[in-house]
Amino acid sequence: MSKSNAPLTHKEIMVVLSGLMTGMLLAALDQTIVSTALKRIVEDFNGLNHYTWVVTAYILTSTASTPLYGKVSDLYGRRPVYQFAIITFLIGSLLAGASQNMGQLIATRALQGLGAGGLMALTFVIIGDIVAPRDRGKYQGYFGAVWGLSSVAGPLLGGFFSDHTSILGITGWRWIFYINLPFGILAMVITGIVLHIPKVKREHKIDYFGALLLVIAVVSVLLGLSVYGPEKGWTSTFTIIVLVIGVLFTILFLVWERTAVEPIIPLTLFKNHTFSLTSILGFIIGAGMFGAIVMLPLYLQVVKGNSATQAGLKLIPLMLGIVSMTITSGRMISKSGKYKKFPLIGTLFMSLGLLLMTRLGIETPYWQLSIYAIIVGMGLGLSMQTIVIALQNDIDFKDLGVATSGNTFFRSLGGAFGTAIFGTILTDQVTKNMKSGFAEFAKANPTVASQIDPAAIGSLTSNTAGIAQLPDAVKTVVLTAFTDAFHVVFIAAAPVTLLGFFFALFLREKPLQTGAEHASARQEAAGESVG
CA distance 380 to 373: 11
Confidence of residue 3 (pLDDT cuts 50, 70, 90): very low
Confidence class for position 467, pLDDT limits 50, 70, 90: confident
Mapping DSSP to helix (H, G, I), strand (E, B) and coil, where does residue 530 land?
helix
Three-state secondary structure string covering 159-209: HHHHCCCEECCEEHHHHHHHCHHHHHHHHHHHHHHHCCCCCCCCCCCCCHH
> Do 244 and 267 share a domain, yes or no?
no
pLDDT tens, 276-327?
A: 898 899 888 888 776 666 788 788 888 888 876 777 778 788 878 887 888 8
Report d(CA 393, CA 409) in Å as an integer.
18
Q: How many domains does the chain have?
A: 2
Compute the residue count for the chain. 531
DSSP per-residue codes, 56-110? HHHHHHHHHHHHHHHHHHHHH-HHHHHHHHHHHHHHHHHHHHT--SHHHHHHHHH
Evaluate whether 192 touches 386 at the Cβ level (below 8 Å).
no
Q: With CA atoms as reference, report the closest residue to 218 among 496, 38, 402, 410.
A: 410
Domain, as residue range, for 517: 10-207+261-438+477-530
Between CA 246 and CA 249 the distance in angstroms is: 5
Nearest to residue 24, comparing CAs of 94, 97, 117? 117
Last residue of a domain, one of 260, 281, 299: 260
pLDDT at 111 over 50: yes
End-of-domain residue from the set 224, 243, 260: 260
Q: Percent of the chain scored above 70 by pLDDT?
A: 81
* Residue 150 to residue 412: CA distance in whole angstroms: 19
Residues 226 and 268 in one domain: no
C-beta separation of 264 from 257 below 8 A = yes
Model-wide pTM > 0.75 = no
161 and 105: one domain? Answer: yes
**Does 383 map to a domain?**
yes
> Are residue 166 and residue 224 in the same domain, yes or no?
no
383 and 317 in a common domain: yes
Say which CATH number the domain at 411 has.
1.20.1250.20
Q: Is the pLDDT of residue 436 over 60?
A: yes
Q: Does residue 121 sit within a domain?
A: yes
Residue 409 lies in a domain: yes
Same domain, 215 and 163: no
pLDDT in tens, 232-253: 777 888 888 988 999 999 999 8
Q: Is residue 33 part of a domain?
A: yes
Residue 248 and residue 285 in one domain: no
Span 116-128, mean pLDDT? 79
Q: Is residue 204 within 8 Å of residue 71, measured between CB atoms?
A: yes
SS3 163: coil
Residue 463 lies in a domain: no
Q: Does residue 313 sit in the same domain as residue 217?
A: no
Is residue 110's pLDDT more than 80? yes
* Residue 451 CB coordination number (10 Å): 9
